[in-house]
Structure 1
Amino acid sequence: MLLASLTDDDLQSLGDSCISRFEQGRDVSDIEQGLEVYKQLTQRPHIDQESFASRLQNLAHAFQLRFERTGTFSDIEEAISNNRKAVEATPSGNEHLVSRLTDLANTLALRFQRTGDVVDIDEAIATRRRAIDITPQRSANLQRLFKNLGISLQSRFQLRGELTDLESAIEAKKKAAGLISEGDHDDRPSILDSLANSYSILFESTSDMVALSEAISLHRQALDLTPSDHLNLSHFHNNLAASLFRRFERGRDLSDINQAIDFQRRVVQSTPSDHPGLSDELSNLGSYLQSRFERVEDLADLNEAISARQSALDRLSPGHPHRPSAMNSLALSFLTRSQQTNDLSDIDQAISLQEKAVDITPVDHKSFPGWLINLSSSFQERYQRTKNQTDIDKAIAHQERAIMLTPSGHADLIAYHSHLGNSFLFRVIQTGSLGDLEACMSHYKLVATQPIGDPNLKITAARYWASFSHQLYPSSSETIEAFDTVIRLLSLVAGLEQTIEQRHELLKDTPGLSELAAASACFVGRVDKAFEWLEHGRCLVWSQISQLRTPLQDLSLKHSDLARRLLETSTALERAGSRQLTNTSSATADEEAFSHIKLAKEWDNLLREVRGIPNFEHFLQPLPCSSLLQHLPPAGTIILISASNTHQDRCDAIALRPGLDKPIHIPLPSFSVDKGEQLRRDLICQLQFFGARSPDADTMQEGEIENRKPRRAPEEVIKSNNATKDILATLWTDLVKPILDGLSFSPKTSELPRIWWCTAGPLASLPVHAAGIYSKDAVKSNLFDYAVSSYTPTVAALTSRLKNPQKFPHHANGLLLVSQPDAPGQSSISGTTVEIDAIQKLAKKHGIKSLTLEGEKAGINPTLDNMKKFNSIHLACHAMQDEKEPLRSGFFLHDGRLDLSTIMQHNLPNANFAFLSACQTSAGEEQLSDEAVHLAAGMLAAGYRGVVATMWSIGDRYAPGVARDFYEYLLAGSLDGAEVDGSKASYALHYAIRKLQDKLEKSSERSLLAWAAYVHYGV
């Protein structure tokens, strides 16, 4: 009655005030009063057409606001109805038509979000485009119109999966961002955040890391421009958390998931308890907590995830469109808990929730296939516990239906096919059905050969595809294709867009794939393929570093600008890859990561450009066997050893000799992965018992080692005190002697031939070079009597140095001696002074230029600076192998640790030879046994052509004598001013070790451990 007495103007003012107060305080009573006022206005008599249209628009807006606040579905339908009437009542050319078209499109988009009805989003997009078409080019509204068009196009992409919609969405949002002035801070954060969302979705669809980095950068920019009390702040936090979560799923960097959880907690805490969006925000928090649980296995995270997801579900009324999603999220947490507790009731509860979600979701809903896949995963899990075939049959049926309902090219299809392949595999194990096995292979092949998708998912599928293809059709071309795919995907798992540290972490999940491929090839007599796969699948990170330093002379002669750009990009990319992940600010870390990803993409683009030039088609591509055989050492043999416990637990040696056009295959039936692993464990126990693996072992005198109590001394290993002798004897009889026999090697008294060993797996931690029978009556029964041994990370690592012989400038000749007997925080090493004094005298005797950095002068920067001035270096100091973070392994100098990552950042063009007279400088890391992650390999990667190192701690008593005898041989015959001849280093080490052996009791444990630690790498 009161409202009826008010004039139109008073009613309008009252309605506007109610809406304004609601937008400030979010009190539902305000919006309800505003609605009543606007309804009265539309029912007033004698309204002109323009006023009627305006009042309908206001009424529609009020209904929309109440829908957004309460979620009442009838409100959004009323909003659309009134907006549609307002547009119909507005003639073409009217200045308000654009605004009314926009409001209609907005409400259609809101209803689409609730129902997933494609008709709504199609009409919304058409309506937005109509609004843009009639808007003047210089209108201030144009940026908002482009932003909204982009949002709707993005929504349709998420429904249909057509990439053109997403690309159009990004273009529209870019136009919107470009139309905003820098000073217009009110709109800029919202548009930047919206554009970021599109890039994030593009990453999900294409795995383009540049897109994800762009998204995170834009999200942070939006937050930086947003006041702390702004209504959208929570929304921006929510979106940044989602993008950080996506990056965590790819790179597994804990800082990303930690940040995502922190941001999402802020979102939940700042949202009113009765807000309809709180359920989704709780569900997101649960997802992030569960992902962190799966990474660090802290049960507190899983319990909190279940609590958050249960709360999210409880807040949704029956019939709410988000209820199926909440059910699925909670079910996944129950499924995870069942895997921890083996409680079948958790799986049953998960299945119950997921079946309800499927039942209440329309078949044509965009999420329906995903719900089917989730339900199938629970049936898979229950099948693995109960072996009830009904469960696996249901899983397969649901997965096949999900694939059938998903449009071709949709980003989720690769995961759906992977799930289906897994289900067929589970059923094969029980039934042995050949049809199921072939179906399994078919789906894995499809996953592995897709051009886009998660590399980790693809390589797992490729591994199964290859293994099963070998079992069924070992000699077929498809088996070759499958293993080629496996090796190619390895490099994608650890791509150049990641730091070296991240690549190493990712490769821990893919051990032994090159060994598996090689074993399959050897099984069918394809030794050439076995060689290629070993060469291309091992030491991936080392090979990537080597590629970035490839000489570009040939390219420079014809395309100097392209060669220059390639060199600049490779230098920057290598620097980015060698950086350590530190506690810098999130924004700085993101900038570094984004720059790194862009460099990797630029590198790929440059490689494509180079390979488009005639005669450069295979530039920096993996070389075939025939090419690798062209630059072998002129005198010597390279031996690759491959052991796999997948194919008849076989072990094979592949020998490469100059002048032969194919590798030599030598089966090793008496050796295996399991035997190698047992020998590795036995050796570690012996080393710990004798103190050779303890942090201070390099400073112990012989008597201290004798009296040292073991940290761990299993009786079966040390009871006879002959374990090391037994290990070396087994390596001789089962591994090395069959190889020598296969190559017709015989013991020699004159100059010995050379062998380069290329090993991986447990053999990478075993002293193959010391294999032999060491007893008083043994004659010519050890490798030292047959050949001089070296190691190489890969064949290409060796041949590339032989192919490009180095000529050192005269000013760089000479020997840098670094001695640090008293590094802060480390025990004193008295022998280093004796060692360095002896080398100095030999250098002076032979006219070799030398410089000694000792004590306080032996700091990190002086050492690095002089490494560039002297082409050879001798380091006598403490060293440390960091098993958790191999790149932080390093040498202890006066002012800190010169670590591997720092060394690898310095490209040393004049590097020749390095002697690492320190402990465990070639010990490597067990979980990365296929990679070269020790200090010796780091020196090779930095440019040194040859390196002497140690596999475990060396005694201070013998190290000075070994170094003196080594340089006595190496420098013999040198003329004044000559360079150190690094090519003689392997023979010099052989000579020095022979002299040490002559001084020691031949077969004692202490004697064997004293000399067998020394190894030579490289030329």
Structure 2
Amino acid sequence: MRAERAREAVVGRVEGAPDEFLRAIGDDPAGWMALADKALGESAADRTVLGAVAALMRFTLSEISPRHPLREQCVRLLAVALVDTAQHHDDEAAYTEFQTVVRFEAERLPDDDPARARLTGMLASVGARRRESTHDRMTAEARALLDRFEATEDEAALDEAIARFRAVVLRIADEPDRRHPLGSLGLALVLRYQLHADPGDLRAAISAWRRALAHTPPGNGRVQLVANLAGALHHLFDLERDEAVREESFQLARSVRGEGVAEMRRLNNLAAGLVARFVETGDTRAADEAIELHERAIAMTDPADPQYATRLHNLSDLVKVRFSAAEDPAAVDRSIDLSRRAYAAANTPPRQRFALALALAAGLSLRSERSADLASLAEAVELIRVFVADGPRQDPDRPFLLGKASLILSTYYDATGDAAVAGEAAAAAREALRAAGTGHPHRPMLLFALSHVLSRVHHHTGEAAALAESRRLMAEAASVPAQSPLDRAGMLVLVAGAQVAQQRWAEAADAYDQAIGLFPLLVSRRLTRADQEKRLAERAVTVRDAGAVALQAGDPERALTLIEHGRGTLFAQSLENRDDFDDLRADHPDLAAELLSLRDTLATWTAEGAGAGDDHHRLARRWEELVARVRELPGRQGFLGRVRVGELLSAAERGPVVVFSVSAIRSDALIVRPDGIEVVPLPGVTPEVVERNAREFLAAVADGEDVSGILGWLWDAVAGPVLDRLPDDPSQRVWWCPTGSLAFLPLHAAGRAGHGVLDRVVSSGTPTLRALLHARRAGVPAGTDTLVVAVPEAEGVPALPGVEREVRLLEDVLPTTTVLRDARRAEVLDQIGRHGRAHFACHAVTDTAHPSDSRLLLAGDAPLTVLDIARLRLEGDLAHLSACSTATVGPVLPDEAIHLASAFQLAGYRHVVATLWPVRDVFAVGFARDFYRVVAEHGAGSAALAVHQATRRLRDRLPDHPEIWAAHVHTGP
């Protein structure tokens, strides 16, 4: 009877139960379990058998008592049947029943019953195995979908892969076990981001990789994950401009080392971030490190690897932008060779070949510009035409590549005048703009590309509509704030030029004002001094024209501020307004202390090697953050900002300051007084005329030839018209502030036939009005005793026999002197802060190409450079540099006034006496004697008068030799 009910129970629950199974069911529960065990062993995957076993075990549980000795075995057999059904037939209901039955049976047993522990353990272990099995299967399916996408670019497969990876992650409870599916999910999301540029995909990928990295042990797997995450963070920085993101990417990429594919990817992504840093900031350390990393990655890559072409391409692009033709004439040829190898590489994915073609075209176009090679340009155009016609329309990089293509086509149009090419260039640029949309990160470049095309059309055809649209597009490009300061400043200058062409002077002044406002960002504290100088050299014409435009607009005060803030950028960065820090220290001492510490650390930055640039940028970013925080405080919006015109005018409180504006637009002298500015037109003075006279003057001085004609021109055209506006008072002080090539000429010596500036005023010089204000704010000097640095002999230069006579003279004239004979650098730096005055009698070297490397030659092999001096924080009264060319500016950066004299002023000396060109030993001694007689009697405050009188004495003795008597100049209050 029990056997019949058992068979009915099985038949009622399982359709098509095996006949032999049903016939074997007897009356004994032990026999039922034996039958179930035998059936499971023989047909574990057969769903009908599994169902029959499960039904029989359910009936058995209903028939036996809760404390029956075989009940646990019955529960286990039922569990096996249900788990196998779930595993082999994807039956979630079976697994749910398994959990319900086993949990119920366990919970009805006492806590101390061993059977309860065994059932609970079975529940946990089966659950773990099932999760692992399910996860492995789902992960394998997702990876197969990802492989399908990479082989066929089937976007539906990619979307499904992402959905399945996410499902796997959600099903896994333990975070460490999620790291592999999280890594795969991140990869799939980045692939989709590359297709559609959806920032949400990029951020989700970064989140997934960060979670995976937290539980990934050291090894190549971690290196691979770090490389992927660092690359994604670089892309996120491009979107959000959050520098903490970029900093994280560099820290990650430098935190690991690996081998094989993982290491190659790490090198490549680290290099990509460094390239971006170089392009945006001009930090050549980043570019040089990136070149080395790319070369290592290429050397490790098999030419059959699909990534080989990409790595060649990356290096090609970097070489192209790192080295100008002037710096390295072979750079363009090397870039083209790398691009050709990349373009010819095997196994390159089809979508990438178009980017490689454009890169090769860009190199060929550069070659044509350098050497007028029309064949190279024609080859570039053919590559572009293939891309425009056949390149993938949905590629998110297409707008950027089209913009580059349009610029190369414009170059070909300029060379050939072919109107059809102009049409191609314009069509490519317009398609790029349509595809990019308003928020695209490359939109400014694309606007510039179309503007450039249209400007060339106007140039060739005179078409007014093309010119109007070109100007509108350029103005729009310049107005986009989310671009590098270098790019935006360049576009603003182009906008200003367009306004000048229309004689819209006020609008042009506005554009120049915005461009000059970006100068501090172009030379931020993130850069080495050499890189800062290089960036400023590219902007000299901007400043020259900005003041002239403001004068044309009838606004001399604006002209003064534009000239002032466009020049001496590095000088201003070094000095920083002491009053600002004094006030801040009183109210916010901790903030002021951190800022001053950062300022000094960055000013003396010399660290080198991998990672040093990262630290440099991190500290500079902290500086910028703190300055921004101070500017948010009440009443401190102008902290370390532009000096207002009222304060600039106050620089003339002890006498007029004459600031020059020399431009092809117009040239003027601005006589600055406390109550306003008087504009003195200088007709006939142009940049070309001044540069020619300066060049001829310096050549004549070097050769000992007559320079009276040039000094006469300087009087007639420049200095005389200014002094005609001033009272006739030979004791009056005047500060000359020359700009451009005027800085090479001795304004204090301008004159004809014994009548000139020396007979009309007492002259001083100042590189900027801010420098003059800085000198007047200088603190109380350490005393009136003088440190004399005497180096009559230095390695590689002739001896200076007059140095010892100069020392004896100073010891006789001055009350207290400390003489360092044959002084070494460390000794000078140790002693200089202990004296209120300093006199250097030695050789000096002016490095005109890199003025920050100009130096005073000391004993030993370590000189005292401009940077060494400028980084000092002293409170000195007077520095006399009795050496050659210590106030000579370099031809590349005359408006920055980077020389030894300005360095001593920055260090804290109120008065500095220096030379504009080489001086002979014997005359330097005589000048020092006459100078110090006045200073000994009247103090350091008489330094300007002392220079004036010593110069006049030399002129009276040698009137026909201004190369001797006009060399010395005074800088200071």
Report the Cα offset of residue 518 of structure 1.
0.6
Query: Aligned equivalents of 2:909 and 2:201: distance in 1?
Result: 52
Counterpart of 2:937 in structure 1 is 972
Structure 1 residue identity aligned to 2:254? R
* CA distance, structure 1, for counterparts of residue 582 and residue 296 of structure 2: 56
Task: Determine which of 806, 816, 819 is the counterpart of 2:779.
Answer: 806
Contact 2:250/2:614, CA 8 A, preserved across alignment: no
State the partner residue of 1:611: 631
- Say whether residues 1:740 and 2:723 are aligned partners: yes
Q: 1:116 to 1:135 in 2, by over 3 A?
A: same
1:517 counterpart SS class:
helix
The answer to whether the 8 A contact 2:323-2:331 is kept is: yes
Q: What is the alpha-carbon distance in structure 2 between the residues aligned to residue 770 and residue 112 of structure 1?
A: 78
Could you say which structure has the greater relative contact order, defined with CA pairs below 8 angstroms and 6 or more residues apart?
A: 1
Tell me, yes or no, if structure 1 residue 841 matches structure 2 residue 812. Answer: yes
Q: Is the 8 A contact 2:406 2:428 kept in 1?
A: yes
Alignment check: 8 A CA contact 1:290 1:301 kept: yes
2: CA distance, partners of 1:607 / 1:768: 39
**Selected match of 2:554 from 509, 525, 542:** 525
Which residue number in structure 1 is paired with residue 740 of structure 2?
Answer: 761
- Write the deviation string for residues 193-220 of structure 1: whole angstroms up to 9, x where unpaired: 2232123334444666665555444333
Contact 1:548–1:570 (8 Å) recurs in 2 = no
The alpha-carbon distance between structure 1 residues 51 and 573, as it changes in their structure 2 partners (threshold 3 A), is farther
Instruction: Find the counterpart in structure 2 of residue 670 from structure 1.
Output: 684
1:511 aligns with 2:511: no
- Of residues 480-489 and 249-258 in structure 1, the stretch that sits farther from structure 2 once superposed is 249-258
Equivalent position SS for 2:450: helix
Query: Deviation of residue 792 (structure 1)?
Result: 1.2
Counterpart of 2:224 in structure 1 is: 190
Which of 565, 569, 582 is residue 598 of structure 2 equivalent to? 569
Deviation at 1:806, TM superposition (A): 2.3
1:651-730 correspondence runs (5 A): 651-658=667-674, 660=675, 662-690=676-704, 721-722=705-706, 724-730=707-713
Match of 2:77 in 1: none
Partner of 1:851, secondary structure, is strand
Residues 364-379 of structure 1 mapped to structure 2, 5 A cutoff: 364-379=394-409
One-letter amino acid of the counterpart of residue 877, structure 1: C
The DSSP-based 3-state class of the residue aligned with 2:922 is coil
CA offsets per residue over residues 32-68 of structure 1, 9 Å max, x none?
xxxxxxxxxxxxxxx9885799xxxxxxxxxxxxxxx
RMSD, aligned CA? 3.0
Distance 1:618 1:249, change over 3 A: closer
Residue 660 of structure 2 corresponds to which residue in structure 1? 641
Q: Which residue of 1 aligns with 2:32?
A: none
- Paired position in structure 2 for 1:796: 770
Change (3 A) 1:843 1:125: farther
| Cross-structure match for 1:927 | 892
**1:937 alignment partner, one of 893, 897, 902:** 902
Q: CA deviation at 1:1013?
A: 1.2
Label 1:554 to 1:104 Cα distance change in 2 as closer, same or farther (>3 A). farther
SS at match of 1:640: strand
Within 1, Cα distance between the matches of 2:150 and 2:414?
37
Distance 2:552 2:147 in 1: 61
Q: Which residue of 2 aligns with 1:903?
A: 869
Q: Which residue of 1 aligns with 2:269?
A: 239
8 Å contact kept, 1:206–1:411 = no
Partner of 2:298: 268
What is the SS of the residue equivalent to 1:627? helix
Find the aligned partners of 1:466 and 1:502 in 2 and give their Cα distance: 26
Contact 1:425/1:440 (<8 A) preserved: yes
Label 1:315 to 1:945 Cα distance change in 2 as closer, same or farther (>3 A). Answer: same
Matched residue, 1:20: none
Q: 1:176 aligns with which of 212, 225, 228?
A: 212
Indicate which of 617, 632, 638 corresponds to 1:597: 617
Kept after mapping to 2: 8 A contact 1:815/1:871: yes
Work out the CA distance in 2 between the residues paired with 1:927 and 1:736. Answer: 24
Decide whether aligned partners of structure 1 residues 611 and 263 sit closer, same or farther in structure 2, where only a CA change above 3 A counts: closer
1:1016 aligns with 2:970: yes
Q: What is the 5 A alignment of 1:101-250?
A: 101-106=138-143, 122-136=159-173, 138-161=174-197, 163=199, 165-180=201-216, 184-205=218-239, 212=246, 214-223=248-257, 226-227=258-259, 230-250=260-280
Aligned with 1:853: secondary structure? strand
| Equivalent residue for 2:791, pick from 793, 806, 820 | 820
CA distance in 2, matches of 1:265, 1:102: 36
Contact 2:404 2:449 in 1 (8 A): no
User: Could you tell me how far 1:943 is from its partner in structure 2?
Assistant: 1.6
**Residues of 2 paired with 1:111 and 1:259: CA distance?**
37
Shift of 1:122: 5.0
Match of 2:641 among 602, 605, 621: 621
Residue 750 (structure 2) aligned to one of 735, 759, 771: 771
Contact 2:399 2:435 in 1 (8 A): yes
Distance 1:828 1:293, change over 3 A: closer
Structure 1 residues 205 and 1018, CA, compared in 2 at 3 Å: closer, same or farther? farther
- 2: distance between equivalents of 1:982 and 1:131? 81
Contact 2:195–2:394 under 8 Å retained in 1? no
8 Å Cα contact 2:325/2:370 also seen in 1 = no
TM-superposition CA deviations, 1:169-205 (whole Å, max 9, x none): 4444334333446xx3343322322232123334444
Deviation of 1:295 (Å)? 5.3
Q: How many percent of aligned residue pairs carry the same amino acid?
A: 28
**Which of residues 478, 484, 488 is equivalent to 1:448?**
478
**Helix, strand or coil at the partner of 1:816:** strand
In 2, Cα distance between equivalents of 1:240 and 1:353: 30
Deviation (angstroms), 1:987: 0.8
Displacement of 1:963: 0.6
**TM-score w.r.t. structure 1 length?**
0.79
Going from structure 1 to structure 2, the CA distance change for 1:234 and 1:599 (only over 3 Å counts) comes to: closer
Alpha-carbon shift at residue 400 of structure 1 (Å) = 1.4
Shift in CA distance, 967/355, structure 1 to aligned 2, threshold 3 Å: same
| Map of 2:952 onto structure 1 | 994
Q: Which amino acid aligns with 2:888?
A: A
Greater gyration radius:
2
Q: Indicate the residue corresponding to 1:891 in structure 2.
A: 856
Equivalent pair of 1:358/1:371 in contact (CA under 8 Å): no
Are residues 113 and 252 of structure 1, via their aligned partners in 2, closer, same or farther at CA, if it must alter by over 3 Å?
A: farther
TM-superposition CA deviations, 1:940-985 (whole Å, max 9, x none): 1212222111111001111011111111101105xxxxxxx43211
8 A Cα contact 1:448 1:485, kept in partner:
no
Give the letter for the 1:788 counterpart: V
Q: Structure 2: how far apart are the matches of 1:944 and 1:110?
A: 70
Quick one: distance in 2 between partners of 1:433 and 1:492? 37
Is this contact kept in 2: 1:548–1:571, CA < 8 A?
no
Question: 1:354–1:371: 8 Å Cα contact kept in structure 2?
Answer: no
Shift of 1:829: 0.3
Report the Cα distance in structure 2 between the residues aligned to 1:871 and 1:210, rounded to whole angstroms: 45
Q: How many residues align?
A: 856
How far has the Cα of 1:331 moved from its partner?
A: 2.1
Indicate how the Cα distance of structure 1 residues 998 and 411 shifts in structure 2: closer, same or farther if over 3 A, else same.
Answer: same
1:926 match: secondary structure: coil
Is 1:462 aligned to 2:477, yes or no?
no
Render the CA deviation track for 1:698-754: whole Å, top value 9, x for unaligned.
xxxxxxxxxxxxxxxxxxxxxxx53x111111110001111111x233253xxx111
Alignment of 1:430-449 (within 5 A): 430-449=460-479
C-alpha distance in structure 1 between counterparts of 2:732 and 2:362, whole Å: 61
Give the TM-score normalised by structure 2.
0.82
Corresponding letter in the other structure for 1:994: R
Q: Offset at 1:310?
A: 2.9
Q: CA deviation at 1:821?
A: 0.3
Q: Partners of 2:787 and 2:954 in 1: how far apart?
A: 25
Structure 2 residues not aligned, in runs of 5+: 1-83, 91-126
